[in-house]
Amino acid sequence: MELLQCAHSKKQQQITRDYLYEFNFETIPLSENIGHRAAIYIEEYSMQNGLRAGDAIIAATAIENRLTLVTSNQKHYKIIPDLELRIFKP
């Protein structure tokens, strides 16, 4: 969802969908637990850290599914406890 919203045209959206399909990325559905955890993160971190809903959902999804979050966006994620984070430089 976050990748698609950054597209500037329908063609870019299609390229993104094709990439995700070609490399067999798994889509993890939004569950009640993920939504609840994301809401808690918004309450805790949005005012002090600028955490937005999309980033809160991504972090909650990673934690609920015991996954490492690989991102270049250290600012919003480093404050979240229990989040296994791997930072890369684009």
Query: What digits encode the pLDDT tens for the residues 32-43?
Result: 999 999 999 999
List, in sequence order, every residue forming a beta bridge with 87; answer none if it has no partner.
71
| CA 84 to chain CA mean position, Å | 13
Residue in 68, 65, 89, 64 with CA at minimum distance from that of residue 77: 68
In the predicted model, is pLDDT for residue 90 greater than 90? no
Q: Beta-carbon neighbour count of residue 59 at 10 Å?
A: 25
Q: How far is 41 from 52, CA to CA, in rounded Å?
A: 9
In this predicted structure, the answer to whether residue 8 has a pLDDT above a threshold of 90 is yes
Read off the DSSP letter of residue 11: H
pLDDT per residue as tens digits for the range 42-64: 999 999 889 999 999 999 999 99
Average pLDDT over residues 14-38: 95
Note the pLDDT of residue 2. 81
The DSSP code for 52 is: -
**pTM for the full model?**
0.84
80 band by pLDDT with thresholds 50, 70 and 90: very high
With 0-12 CB in 10 A as exposed, 13-18 as middle and 19+ as buried, what is 50?
exposed
Domain ranges within the chain, ordered by starting residue: 1-30, 31-90
